[in-house]
Structure 1
Amino acid sequence: MPHDVNLIILLAVGFGLALVFGYIAARLRLPPLIGYLIAGILISPNTPGVVADLTLANQLAELGVMFLMFGVGMHFSLKDLFEVRRIALPGAILQITVATILGMLVALYWGWSVGAALVFGLSLSCASTVVLLKALGDRGLLDSINGKIAVGWLLVEDLVMVLVLVLLPAVAMLLGGHAPEGHDASQNVWLTLGLTLIKVGGFIAFMLIIGKRLVPMIMQFVARLGSRELFTLTVVAAAVSIAYGSYAIFGVSMALGAFFAGMVVKESDFSHRAEAETLPLREIFSILFFVSVGMLFDPRIIVEQPLHILAVIAIIMVGKTIAAMALVLFFRYPINTALTVGASLAQIGEFSFILATLGLSLGLLDLEAQNLILAGALFSISLNSFLFSAVEPVQKWIRERSHLARLLERSNDPLAMLPDEVDQDYLRDQVVIVGHGEVGSRLTRSLMAQGIKVVIAEENREIVENLRAQDIPAVSGSATEPSVLIQAHIQHARLLILSPMDLIDIHKIVDTAKLLNPKIEVLVCAESKQEAELIRQDDVGKVYYAKEEMAHNMSDYILNQIELAHHQHPH
Structure 2
Amino acid sequence: MPHDVDLIILLAVGFGLALIFGYIAARLRLPPLIGYLIAGVLISPNTPGVVGDIHLANQLAELGVMFLMFGVGMHFSLNDLMQVRRIALPGAIIQIAVATVLGIGVTMLWGWSFGSALVFGLSLSCASTVVLLKALGDRGVLDSVNGKIAVGWLLVEDLVMVLVLVLLPATAVLLGGEALTNGPDSSSNIWLTLGITLLKVAGFIAFMLIIGKRLVPMIIQFVARLGSRELFTLTVVAAAVSIAYGSYAIFGVSMALGAFFAGMVVKESDFSHRAEEETLPLREIFSILFFVSVGMLFDPSILIQQPGHIMAVVAIIMIGKTIAAMALVLFFRYPLNTALTVGASLAQIGEFSFILATLGVSLKLLSLDAQNLILAGALISITLNSFVFAAIEPLQKWIRERSYLARLLERKSDPLAMLPDEVSQDYLRDQIVMVGYGETGRRIVETLQANHVKVVIAEENREIVENLREKGVAAVSGSATEPSVLIQAHIMHARALVLSGCDALEIHQIVNIAKQLNPLLEIILTADSTEQARLLREENIGPVFFAKEEMAKNMSEHILEQMQRAHHLTH
Measured against the shorter chain, the TM-score band is: over 0.9
Please name the residue that 1:289 is paired with.
290
Deviation (angstroms), 1:568? 4.1
1:251 aligns to what SS in structure 2?
A: coil
Does the Cα contact within 8 Å between 1:23 and 1:32 map onto a contact in 2?
Answer: yes
Q: Does 1:326 align with 2:327?
A: yes
Deviation (angstroms), 1:520? 1.3
Please name the residue that 2:164 is paired with.
164
Please name the residue that 2:108 is paired with.
108
- Equivalent-residue separation in structure 1 for 2:319 and 2:34 (angstroms): 21
Superposed, which structure 2 residues align to 1:39-438 within 5 Å?
39-182=39-182, 183-438=184-439
The residue identity in structure 2 corresponding to 1:484 is: V
Offset from partner CA, 1:367-393 (integer Å, 9 cap, x none): 000000000000000000000000000
Offset from partner CA, 1:203-259 (integer Å, 9 cap, x none): 000000000000000000000000011000000000000000000000000000000
Please name the residue that 2:530 is paired with.
529
The residue identity in structure 1 corresponding to 2:169 is: P
The residue identity in structure 1 corresponding to 2:118 is: L
Offset from partner CA, 1:343-389 (integer Å, 9 cap, x none): 00000000000000000000000000000000000000000000000
- Equivalent-residue separation in structure 2 for 1:419 and 1:563 (angstroms): 52
Could you list the runs of 5+ residues in structure 1 that have no partner in the other structure? none
1:52 aligns to what SS in structure 2?
A: coil
2:457 aligns to what SS in structure 1?
A: strand
Q: Does 1:16 align with 2:16?
A: yes
- Equivalent-residue separation in structure 2 for 1:131 and 1:566 (angstroms): 58
- Equivalent-residue separation in structure 2 for 1:194 and 1:551 (angstroms): 57
- Equivalent-residue separation in structure 1 for 2:62 and 2:561 (angstroms): 60
Deviation (angstroms), 1:471? 0.4
- Equivalent-residue separation in structure 2 for 1:494 and 1:569 (angstroms): 48
Name whichever of 485-494 and 177-186 sits farther off. Answer: 177-186
Offset from partner CA, 1:85-118 (integer Å, 9 cap, x none): 0000000000000000000011000001110000
Please name the residue that 1:449 is paired with.
450
How many matched pairs?
570
1:142 aligns to what SS in structure 2?
A: coil
- Equivalent-residue separation in structure 1 for 2:166 and 2:107 (angstroms): 23
- Equivalent-residue separation in structure 2 for 1:197 and 1:557 (angstroms): 56
The residue identity in structure 2 corresponding to 1:5 is: V
Name whichever of 260-269 and 509-518 sits farther off. Answer: 509-518
2:334 aligns to what SS in structure 1?
A: coil
- Equivalent-residue separation in structure 1 for 2:335 and 2:552 (angstroms): 40
- Equivalent-residue separation in structure 2 for 1:566 and 1:73 (angstroms): 52
- Equivalent-residue separation in structure 1 for 2:529 and 2:288 (angstroms): 32
- Equivalent-residue separation in structure 1 for 2:440 and 2:310 (angstroms): 48
Deviation (angstroms), 1:563? 3.4
Name whichever of 79-88 and 494-503 sits farther off. Answer: 494-503
Offset from partner CA, 1:8-58 (integer Å, 9 cap, x none): 000000000000000000000000000000000000000000001000000
- Equivalent-residue separation in structure 2 for 1:214 and 1:569 (angstroms): 49
Deviation (angstroms), 1:552? 1.4
2:250 aligns to what SS in structure 1?
A: helix
Deviation (angstroms), 1:547? 1.2
- Equivalent-residue separation in structure 1 for 2:560 and 2:126 (angstroms): 57
Deviation (angstroms), 1:556? 2.0
- Equivalent-residue separation in structure 2 for 1:117 and 1:557 (angstroms): 66
- Equivalent-residue separation in structure 2 for 1:347 and 1:193 (angstroms): 31
Deviation (angstroms), 1:68? 0.3
Please name the residue that 1:542 is paired with.
543
Does the Cα contact within 8 Å between 1:99 and 1:125 map onto a contact in 2?
Answer: yes
Offset from partner CA, 1:438-474 (integer Å, 9 cap, x none): 0001111111111111110000000000000000000
The residue identity in structure 1 corresponding to 2:240 is: A
Deviation (angstroms), 1:522? 1.1
Please name the residue that 2:473 is paired with.
472
Superposed, which structure 2 residues align to 1:492-511 within 5 Å?
492-511=493-512
Deviation (angstroms), 1:566? 4.0
2:544 aligns to what SS in structure 1?
A: strand
Name whichever of 349-358 and 493-502 sits farther off. Answer: 493-502
Deviation (angstroms), 1:196? 0.3
- Equivalent-residue separation in structure 2 for 1:301 and 1:379 (angstroms): 13
Could you list the runs of 5+ residues in structure 2 that have no partner in the other structure? none
Offset from partner CA, 1:130-174 (integer Å, 9 cap, x none): 000010011011100000000000000000000000000001001
Q: Which runs of 4+ in 1 moved over 6 A?
A: none
Does the Cα contact within 8 Å between 1:108 and 1:117 map onto a contact in 2?
Answer: yes
The residue identity in structure 2 corresponding to 1:40 is: G
Does the Cα contact within 8 Å between 1:37 and 1:293 map onto a contact in 2?
Answer: yes
- Equivalent-residue separation in structure 2 for 1:146 and 1:342 (angstroms): 11
- Equivalent-residue separation in structure 2 for 1:365 and 1:201 (angstroms): 28
- Equivalent-residue separation in structure 1 for 2:498 and 2:181 (angstroms): 61
- Equivalent-residue separation in structure 2 for 1:395 and 1:256 (angstroms): 39
Aligned-residue identity in percent: 79
- Equivalent-residue separation in structure 2 for 1:194 and 1:112 (angstroms): 28
1:250 aligns to what SS in structure 2?
A: coil
- Equivalent-residue separation in structure 1 for 2:125 and 2:312 (angstroms): 14
- Equivalent-residue separation in structure 2 for 1:474 and 1:328 (angstroms): 21
- Equivalent-residue separation in structure 2 for 1:373 and 1:302 (angstroms): 12
- Equivalent-residue separation in structure 1 for 2:155 and 2:357 (angstroms): 20
Deviation (angstroms), 1:6? 0.4
TM-score w.r.t. the length of structure 2 is 0.99
The residue identity in structure 1 corresponding to 2:95 is: Q
Does the Cα contact within 8 Å between 2:104 and 2:118 map onto a contact in 1?
Answer: yes
Deviation (angstroms), 1:561? 3.0
Deviation (angstroms), 1:557? 2.2
Does the Cα contact within 8 Å between 1:30 and 1:385 map onto a contact in 2?
Answer: yes
Does the Cα contact within 8 Å between 1:507 and 1:540 map onto a contact in 2?
Answer: no
- Equivalent-residue separation in structure 1 for 2:261 and 2:410 (angstroms): 39
2:365 aligns to what SS in structure 1?
A: coil
Q: Does 1:461 align with 2:462?
A: yes
Please name the residue that 1:35 is paired with.
35
- Equivalent-residue separation in structure 2 for 1:566 and 1:58 (angstroms): 70
Deviation (angstroms), 1:569? 4.2
TM-score w.r.t. the length of structure 1 is 0.99
The residue identity in structure 2 corresponding to 1:335 is: L
Does the Cα contact within 8 Å between 2:438 and 2:501 map onto a contact in 1?
Answer: no
Does the Cα contact within 8 Å between 1:320 and 1:342 map onto a contact in 2?
Answer: yes
2:208 aligns to what SS in structure 1?
A: helix
Deviation (angstroms), 1:554? 1.9
- Equivalent-residue separation in structure 2 for 1:566 and 1:510 (angstroms): 48
